[in-house]
Structure 1
Amino acid sequence: MFNFFRPTDHGEGQLFPAAIGDWAPPPVSNGDALLDAAALKSRIADWTVECGGPDKCRTGKGRQALLGLMKAALKSGESEVRNRFLNDFGTGDDCVRNRVHVLDQLIRTLADISDLHLFPAPNPTTGERFAIVALGGYGRGELAPKSDIDLLFLLPYKRTPRVEQVVEFMLYLLWDLGLRVGHAVRSVDDCIRTSKTDMTIRTSLLECRPLWGEPALVEELFKRYKRDIVDADSKADFVEAKLAERDARHRKLGDSRYVMEPNVKDGKGGLRDLQSLFWIAKYLFQVRDIDGMVAAGVLNDDEAARFRKALSFFRAVRCHLHYLTGREEDRLTFDLQREIGPAMGYTDHAGASGVERFMKHYFLIAKDVGDLTRIFCAALEADSRRKPRRFMFFLGGAKEVDGFVVDRERLTFPSERHLRDTPIDMLRLFRVAQDRDLDIHPAALKAITRSLKLIGNKLRNDPAANALFLDILTSPNDPEKALRRMNESGVLARFLPDFGRVVAQMQYDMYHVYTVDEHTMFAIGILHRIENGAIADEMPLATSVFPSIKSRRALFVAMLLHDIAKGRGGDHSVLGAKVARKLCPRLGLSTEETETVEWLVLNHLAMNDTALKRDIEDDQTVRDFVGLVESAERLRLLLVLTCADIRAVGPGRWNGWKGSLLGQLYNRTRHLIADGFDFEGTESRVNAAHEAIRTRLTAAGWSDDAVAAFLGKGYPPYWLSLDTDTHCRHAALVVRAERQDDPLIVDARPVGDQGTTEVTVLTPDHPGLIARVAGALAVAGANIVDAKIFTLTTGLAIDLFNVQGGADTLPFDDPDALASLSDTVSRCLAGTIDPTAELERQRSRLPTRTNVFRVQPRVLIDNAASRTHSVIEVNGRDRPGLLYDLTRALSGMALQISSAKISTFGERAIDVFYVKDVFGLKVTNETKLEQIRSHLTAVLADGDPGSVPPAPAPTRPARRRLGKRPRMPAGTQGQTAQKP
């Protein structure tokens, strides 16, 4: 029988134990209740007697009986581990240790039985003696519920037949038990040779733990690993490899700690980052646990406590993930977030849901991991000063700049006591680094992290400190980089406590990609890039407008504060304006600048809401918006802020279509302000449109009679809503349709500067036409973003739909895609494709993880937003064919749809319809209005079964005055979802 490794207490200061028997696995409570190895061995010993010999025990019924005994023991142990964690509210630390204990006992028992009873060797030769070593997480004593186990079968030299038989028997039995086992069979020489060239193997051996077998083999491996690998001038290579591996992992997963569905294990700020720090510390300083990192001077006691807290938190989250999914799942998806939050004790509180509080805590822990990484790197740098090694961090000649020390182009403090004497230099350091374009030394960031308590009310109210901060925010030298450094180090949250409340604040939906603070950093960076022309190709209008802005400081402060009140349980625009009113004077802004910032924060959603959710060609829409803005300067400020805000929401959130809508609203508003709010009469505008069309068509060879005939076919809204190019293109399509026996024409063309595809449908008008076209476009995979509906005097309908291609929000611009789109719409309108059945199939393929999102159905009817139409706004959960269902419902109530604005924000759809009744008038009858609300709410709820229909909302009978009082919410703010 081989010797077992008997655990005892162990000391510190060495890479591996001084003796093999000194290694101690993580302690567990009442281990026999998890798996009683002695009892299991006793049962197996009885089984070996009943089998009648090794051969019969290894095969057939004998093997099945052994498998049954071990499977029962494993199942009982795993069940007890799960019960202690889920039902007895155990910690993640206990859960991973308990599972290690169960597997340790199981594998040792199997190895002992195999050696003694199944492959007996009374006097084994040296070549027949081997050891079993745990590697990776299992070697670390940290094994999540569904994680695989890694084993090394360590041989003295080459394999012998008996060893091969034992290893093969054990592995197959472990696999049949349902365990995922990674394994290697190597000699000590093999291990050392492969470790020299393979960093993964080198790292796994760093955490090897002896389980069973020949002690001398493991002692030899430990001795040679330290001598031939660790001490062989390889430390710099190891550190570089681990940090490069970390960076590559971050890039693969988005390179941000604040993605909404983070990877707990491999994501930035996750479990693997902590493990990487520990690997480096173990390799460099020969520590064996977190206390050893304190003894080595890598961390202090407080930082070690944060390290343990982060480890414990991530372990708990990961254990929940594995138990909920029944597999090794490390991605914290939306549906799992909603289940794990309550399971870990997070409840709704203070305006934030339990899941939002859970995820905020997650991101704060991830931020702590970033702090610990910086502190750790500073310790490595300090160690390189003391020890003349070939190391990735080494110091060149230092020089002094503005009272700081520049060390290899990195700024740091002249002494450890510096901040205690001059805490304002925590701000000045970032300003000098920004102004001189220097990096900040890890030692400086470490000193700041350890001195944050020095930032109190005295420093916050210091005019010099506030002037420094305002200089950083409004500097032409990349304020995003400086502010991001301040945020990561904790300075920003301490200096601006209101901003600290949104650090790691999650926005629990599928639209926002980043936390509030991360979004704000991106938005400030985009504002800076608009100013210097770096994204003029994406935002030409905002770029051209920026040089005319007079209130530049107010604009940057407003961007910093625009979302500062999110998560407070109210309208964040209104609450944010109050924060701005109080904070701006402290920062040194004038009364005029403070009023501008307050107005921008209060109304930062108004331009987005008006452009994307209202008909810009409707005079009343523009009148209301002009009444809100009132001045050309405010219009310029709001345009630039809106563009940067939308683009900072996440990749793909900004596109040419949104830019074109904002541009149209900006230009109409600018002209009206310049003309003294003088709205040109409808008749003169129609005449001007006719004249432009006549000129173009005549130049194209049309006769006067043909031009007059076309101009006589349209009603005023048609001439006022489209440009001359579109009218002339329609003229040719109308002539073509009138000459066909079947006057159905579907014309699709990309609109390059808008990032959309325009689909024009000409066909005889009939009730429900827009619903059929909407269904056809949904079947074709097109997302409708805008619709304009016209009927000519001849009864021919001309319906225009601006669409984008599904989830990627790109236009259909490939010739084949355009032809397929036109063909699908034509076939649906001809009745050869049933949109209802096809859309039902599409809905069945929706990803189930998004089903956790519930959007409360809401229907608002506004009779003051337009002089000629009732405006119906619906809010609900998006789904394939939602517009088809809504337009069918509207048509079924005998309503005429003149135009529609379609917006999707992640899981939320906000669709706006301009409608009239059968007599061409607004809908004012209360019974009819209630019918509209009831029917549309039912359509919305049908796609979101978890929602509850709301109480009826009142119709707004009177025109709203926008912006006449400085703190009144703008546009439809407060009625629609707060985006972006």
Structure 2
Amino acid sequence: MNQAKIPKQRQIIDRKALSGEIAKLVAEKGSTGGTGGGNELRQVIITLLRAALDNGREELARRLADKPSSGHECSGGQAFLVDQIVRLLHDHVTENVYPPGNRTASERLTIMAVGGYGRAEMAPQSDVDIAFLTPSRRTPWCEQVIEAILYFLWDLGLKVGQSSRTLDEMVKMAKSDLTIRTALLEGRYVWGDRDLYDEASRRFFNEVVHGTERQYVSEKLEERNARHKRMGDSRYVVEPNVKDGKGGLRDLHTLYWIGKYIHKVRSAADLIEVGLLTKQEYRSFRRAESFMLAVRCHLHIMTGRAEDRLTFDLQREVATRMNFADRPGKSSVERFMQFYFIQARRVGSLTGVFLAHIDQEFAEKRARKGFFAGFTSRSRMHKGYKISGGKIAAPGDDWFQKDPVRLIEIFQIAESEGLEIHPDTMRQADRDSGLIKGSVQKDPRANALFLDLLSGKNDPETALRWMNDAGVFGKFVPDFGRVNSQMQFDMYHHYTVDEHTIRAIGLLSRIERGELSDDHPRSARLIHRVNSRRAAYVAVLLHDIAKGRGGDHSQLGAEVAKKLCPRFGLDEQETALVSWLVRQHLLMSATAFKRDLSDPKTIADFVVQVQSLERLRHLMILTAVDIRAVGPGTWNSWKGQLLGELYDNAQEHLRLGHVRHGRAERVAAKKEIVAANLGKQSGLIKEYDRIFTDSYWIAEPEDVIARNLIQYSVARGLEEQLSLHCEYDSVRGATLVSVIAADHPGLFYRIAGGIHLAGANIIDARIHTTRNGWAVDNFLVQDPHGNPFQEQSQLERIKKAIGDALANRIELAPQLAKRPLPISRSKAFKIRQRVIFDNKASNRFTVIEVSARDRPALLNRLARTLFENQLVVHSAHITAYGERAADVFYVTDLLGTKITSADRLKTIEESLLEAASDKRQAELESA
């Protein structure tokens, strides 16, 4: 920011008055040599300047509070404040501490601000990046002055990034180091010898920059891509880094650096003069930059440190400070973050157009030189568009104005022909997107083109993202525009709603092309067996379309689908299918992850809602891409196995009208498969056949049963009272923990506590009691990041922790309370605790679902509460949605019957809510 534009500068700091005070102090106390003059004088000056620095920061913080989006003014003011401090120190040191006397030509010094300080964009806790430049050799006087200034700056509490070089050293190091070159590119004169600064600037551009433009752009973009990868490679991650994240301040800086390096522009505004940005784009540049600078300043002021990550626990407070208010269906923090992502998207759009222009400039320079001078690649026409060099372009500036349907057509052609869109044409599309009114939205040709694009067979994801960046997508489908850049304030969803949706469409396209068949074998087959692939793509587009409206987004989205599907050109049958899929898009995951799939009632109830094989196929595909598009690591093989098991059982029921085999036949069939798995040890089935109940044979997979039988046989042979076995299960993407012990009350909650104490999370639990009184319990566990335990030391740690818990060698409750959540930011969210009883979901069990804030050993506390209420847990299904846990238990009373008494259910509910409460957690932590 031009510091001359900062209003009421002397209210921030009055350098003239401070200079006078320093002169008065020097006159009173005298001055001696050293790192800062006489010690008493030095301390008084430090106290004076520290007060000035604190007062200046308070004034800037007050101004930001009054004008909470004034990022340029606040960041420019911070740089102005530091400038004045540095100038005062320079003058004091050179005049009073080390007066020059008869100064030689080498005893010259200039102070240059570099990096963000050089741009005059500083957040309150930013480093002060300074370059001290001297002529051809450093003299003792220069070194003494530099040392004295630095000691003053450090004593003032400033974090200083400094370099001290001669002009020759500056040139040499800038040539070899990209970071130094970029820092110097933003060099700004602060104080000292102006002629020396001018010489440094001239030599930098003549000797370092000249002739290296292409290399610099290439290296800078490579650096940017590596930074994006570190930060999540999306501008829509829900905890963005304002400075270094994709679509953040550093991306804007990169545009400026490249423009300055190639065209020697002095400010971002000069990018208009050289044709790299239009006036409208520059205004967008400034708006986005000012907003993000303001956010960064708020973060620094709130935390008192150089905090650039907009984490969940800070988002709500920043939203309040920036005057965002709640609206129906949308909280203040969601509105704030939506606005943030709109700016980040704008940065991405500017970046794309800008870099395409730079690329075109270099291509034109190449064409004018050497063997290919005068040669231009041959262009061709396609449906009125000009295609050249793999890019499609509008033939004239009024192309879209003549027929706004072309705003849809160009993206459809780009997708079908595998083309990029020319940067000038992207600018036109962005500029003319407002031409899309109701008549275009209803135009049959426009909707046919959009449907072809959406279900394109090349790369619809990229084309739709371009369409979204240009503002065309949200204009053509206003319902999609409403979720544009909309985040969901939780720790489960990694991306904004529009980014999640576009990623899901891309995943569906990749599944159809066979690229993800290893991870999604069923979906890869089913997409080629559905009657309408168009319906599959439209369902993915619309499944979250009604988020942020208040109410159930599935129900509201189903109504939106009924309106939009006929407009897109889907027939009545397709419309009914898409509407049902949107309404029920969470049904399959909820059933697979929260219900016992070995219970025939679970499958029967699911089939009643699905009703047809066509719906089932589509639901399987939609569920897979929806989960995977949530974010990295959300999809795993365990979820894939559960969904696959549910699909197979439901398909069999729908195809035959019933489950193929009854209970006895299913048990017999299981035993045959287990016998084959056991091979020479198949005699174990006959030996232990009567000990294990039918429910055990039905509930457990064949491979797990085989392992349990071998483990049980060994344990009984050794007369062990406790047998623990831990094994990495590659098929399920988890670790199988099998516990065989003499059954006794409270066994389940103690095992769960031991597993948690070892740092593991339980994702599924099946609890069985043999007819002779032995417990055979199987747990699937993962680490807090969703990965299995594989190392032998990890497996031994789990076994030891379970053994200690069962033998009462440790006190579980206080030990578990000390274990922190892997992500403690969950406290930023308000989680409504709920306990739901369902006596219809199973013929044999009462199903209890507890929803609460995820925390250390929640499952242990809930299981203990069930034990204290004299309930027997037969299976447990544990699901985590970021900060929220949903734990489901299949239980009976001690007599093996369901719990139906209203009073008993009320008592159980109250005790479970108490166990899951934040208050109870706080009590345990303080114990």
Aligned to 1:15: none
SS of corresponding position for 1:921: coil
In the TM superposition, residue 701 of structure 1 has moved relative to its aligned partner by: 6.4
The answer on 1:876 being equivalent to 2:852 is yes
Give the counterpart of 2:788 among 808, 811, 817. 811
Are the equivalent residues in 1 in contact too, given 2:652–2:660 (CA < 8 A)?
no
What is the rounded CA distance, in whole Å, between the counterparts of 1:320 and 1:499 in structure 2?
31
Paired residues for 1:16-27 under 5 Å: 25-27=3-5
Q: 2:548 is paired with a residue of what secondary structure?
A: coil
Output the amino acid matched with 2:213: K
Correspondence for 1:906 among 852, 861, 882? 882
1:339-418 equivalence runs, <5 A: 339-380=317-358, 396-418=377-399
2:689 corresponds to which residue?
711
Quote how far apart the aligned CAs of 1:160 are. Answer: 1.7
Determine helix, strand or coil for the equivalent of 1:127.
Answer: coil
Match in the other structure for 2:412: 431
Residue number in structure 1 paired with 2:16: 38
Residues 274 and 311 in structure 1, CA contact (< 8 A), matched pair in contact too: yes
Q: Match for 1:924 among 888, 900, 912?
A: 900
Q: Is the 8 A contact 1:524 1:560 kept in 2?
A: yes
C-alpha deviation, 1:582, in angstroms: 0.4
Q: Which residue of 1 aligns with 2:170?
A: 191
Q: Is it true that 1:82 corresponds to 2:58 in the alignment?
A: no
Among 887, 894, 897, the alignment partner of 2:873 is 897
Distance 1:454 1:946 in 2: 57
Structure 1, residues 756-793: CA drift from partner, whole Å, max 9, x if none?
22222111211111111111111122211111111122
CA contact under 8 A between 1:698 and 1:707: conserved in structure 2?
no
Aligned counterparts, 1:829-978, within 5 A: 829-843=806-820, 846-942=822-918
Which deviations, in whole Å up to 9, do the C-alpha atoms of 1:451-510 show, x marking residues without a partner?
Answer: 111222222111111111111112222222222222222221111111111111111111
Structure 2 match to 1:236? 214
Matched-pair identity in %:
43
Structure 2 counterparts to residues 204-243 of structure 1, below 5 A: 204-230=183-209, 232-243=210-221
Aligned residue among 78, 97, 107 for 1:118: 97
Does the residue aligned with 1:767 lie in a helix, a strand or coil? coil
Task: Provide TM-score, normalisation by structure 2.
Answer: 0.94
Return the letter of the residue paired with 2:618.
L
- Indicate the RMSD between aligned Cα atoms, in angstroms: 2.6
Q: Aligned partners of 2:352 and 2:91: how far apart in 1?
A: 46
Q: Which residue of 2 aligns with 1:16?
A: none
Native 8 Å contact 1:789 1:898 kept in 2: yes
Q: CA deviation at 1:383?
A: 5.6
1:38/1:671 Cα in 2 relative to 1: closer, same or farther (>3 Å)?
Answer: same
Deviation at 1:197, TM superposition (A): 3.6
1:260 correspondence with 2:241: no
CA distance in 2, matches of 1:797, 1:436: 62
Indicate yes or no: 2:125 matched with 1:146: yes
Question: Take 1:405 and 1:428, find their aligned partners in 2: how far apart are those partners?
Answer: 14
Distance 1:431 1:639 in 2: 28
Does the 8 A contact of 1:647 with 1:653 survive in 2?
yes
1:613 matched to which residue of 2?
A: 594
Residues 572-623 of structure 1: CA distance to partner in whole angstroms, max 9, x if unpaired? 1111111110000111111111111111111111011001101111121111
The 3 A distance-change label for structure 1 pair 692 and 399 is closer
Distance 1:708 1:315, change over 3 A: closer
Which stretch has the larger CA shift, 683-692 or 750-759? 683-692
Higher RCO, 1 or 2 (CA under 8 Å, sep at least 6)? Answer: 1
Contact 2:367–2:376 (Cα < 8 Å) also in 1: no
Call closer, same or farther: CA 1:233–1:803 in 2, change over 3 Å: closer
Compared with structure 1, are the counterparts of its residues 104 and 623 closer, same or farther at alpha carbon in structure 2 (3 Å cutoff)?
same
* Runs of 5+ consecutive residues of structure 1 not aligned to the other structure: 1-22, 948-980
Q: Does structure 2 retain, via aligned residues, the 8 Å contact 1:34–1:102?
A: yes
Match of 1:180 in 2: 159
Range with greater deviation from structure 2 (316-325 or 774-783): 774-783
Distance in 1 between residues matched to 2:126 and 2:368, nearest whole Å: 37
Distance 1:289 1:525, change over 3 A: same
The AA in structure 2 aligned to 1:168 is E
Of stretches 690-699 and 207-216 in structure 1, the one that deviates more from structure 2 is 690-699
For the 8 Å contact 1:398–1:408, the answer to whether it is kept is: yes
Partner of 2:438: 457
Contact kept in structure 1, 2:724 and 2:739, CA below 8 Å: yes
Output one character per residue of 1:298-339: Cα deviation in whole Å (capped at 9) or x when no partner. 333322221111111011000011111211121111111121
Matched, 1:674 2:652: no
Question: In 1, Cα distance between the equivalents of 2:484 and 2:37?
Answer: 60
Cα offsets for 1:412-454 (capped at 9, x unmatched): 1222222222322222222222222222222221221121112
1:294 CA drift (Å): 2.9
What SS is found at the alignment partner of 2:579?
A: helix
Match of 1:312 in 2: 290
Q: Secondary structure at the match of 1:548?
A: coil
> SS where residue 790 of structure 1 aligns?
strand
The 1-side partners of 2:815 and 2:688 are apart by 38
Cα displacement string for residues 698-722 of structure 1 (whole angstroms, at most 9, x for unaligned residues)? 96463xxx85562222333223222
Q: Which residue of 2 aligns with 1:576?
A: 557
- SS of 1:74's equivalent? helix
Q: Which residue of 2 aligns with 1:496?
A: 477
Given the superposition, is the C-alpha separation of residues 811 and 217 from structure 1 closer, same or farther in structure 2, using an over 3 Å criterion? closer
Q: Distance in 2 between matches of 1:775 and 1:97?
A: 54
AA of the residue aligned to 2:439: K
Give 3-state SS (helix, strand or coil) of 1:288's partner: coil
Displacement of 1:207 in angstroms is 2.5
Q: What CA distance in whole angstroms lies between the structure 2 residues aligned with 1:779 and 1:740?
A: 28
1:299 maps onto 2:277 in alignment = yes
Task: Give the Cα–Cα distance (whole angstroms) in 2 for the partners of residues 915 and 163 of structure 1.
Answer: 81
- Deviation larger for 182-191 or 555-564: 182-191
Tell me the matched-pair count: 919
Q: 2:3 aligns to what SS in structure 1?
A: coil
Whether contact under 8 Å (2:68, 2:321) holds in the other structure is no
Letter in 1 for 2:918: D
Classify the secondary structure of the residue corresponding to 1:210: strand
What amino acid does structure 2 have at the position aligned with 1:242? K
Matched, 1:101 2:77: no
Q: Do 1:872 and 1:913's aligned partners in 2 also have CA atoms closer than 8 Å?
A: yes
Deviation, 1:221, is 2.8
Structure 2 CA distance, aligned partners of 1:556 and 1:701? 48
Query: Relative to structure 2, which stretch is displaced further, 795-804 or 747-756?
Result: 747-756
One-letter code aligned to 1:203: T
Partner of 1:539: 520
Could you tell me whether the CA contact under 8 Å between 1:84 and 1:90 is conserved in 2?
Answer: no
Distance 1:335 1:928, change over 3 A: same
637-646 vs 816-825, which moves further: 816-825
Structure 1 residue aligned with 2:309, among 326, 331, 340? 331
Shift of 1:548: 2.0
Deviations 1:179-233 (A, max 9, x none): 1222222333443444344333333333322222223222323344444445x33
User: Partners of 2:711 and 2:207 in 1: how far apart?
Assistant: 81
2 CA distance for matches of 1:391 and 1:417?
33
- Name the aligned partner's letter for residue 237 of structure 2: V
Cα offset, 1:147, TM superposition: 0.7
Secondary structure in 2 aligned to 1:272?
helix
Go from structure 1 to structure 2 and tell me whether the alpha carbon gap of 1:171 and 1:874 turns closer, same or farther (over 3 Å shift): same
Tell me if structure 2 keeps the 8 A contact 1:26–1:97: no
Q: Which residue number in structure 2 is paired with residue 963 of structure 1?
A: none
Q: Identify unmatched segments of 5+ residues in structure 2.
A: none
1:564 aligned to which of 545, 550, 561: 545
Aligned equivalent of 1:10:
none
Aligned to 1:72: 51
Q: Does 1:322 align with 2:300?
A: yes
TM-score of the two chains, using structure 1 as the length reference: 0.89
